[in-house]
Amino acid sequence: QVQLAESGGGLVQAGGSLTLSCAASGGTFSNYYMGWFRQAPGKEREFVAAISNSGVRSSYADSVKGRFTISRDNAKSTLSLRMDSLTPEDTAVYYCAAGRRWYRTPTKDDYDYWGQGTRVTVSS
């Protein structure tokens, strides 16, 4: 069973950048397909980006495509999300998640393990 811990959230101005990290422990990180989700106040948790266990495949929600980049370092058991050109609509709690299959457009039900989340606030 893998444990996940996000970090890197904070307050940033619109147009700025932020990189989130997710540290994994307790499992073989390279066995897991990873994803980032986010949940804004009063809204459902939504898919942001996914990456295959090897890192070869990745996918993004349309709302972040071209602005966010997902990556992983299997040697360090870490997942990252680089976020550029942030807007107030990106304000949310961001979660990393681990699963055992590749889904191009996953739902939250496709992942087995979750971190506690890190809050990102984008001011206008």
Each residue of 24-82: pLDDT tens digit?
999 899 999 999 999 999 999 999 999 999 999 999 999 999 999 999 999 999 999 99
Phi, psi of 63 (to 5 degrees): -70, -20
Average pLDDT over all residues of the chain: 97
- Mapped onto helix, strand or coil, the DSSP state of residue 111 is coil
Percent over 90 (pLDDT), the chain: 96
* Contact between residue 83 and residue 71 where contact means Cβ atoms under 8 Å apart: no
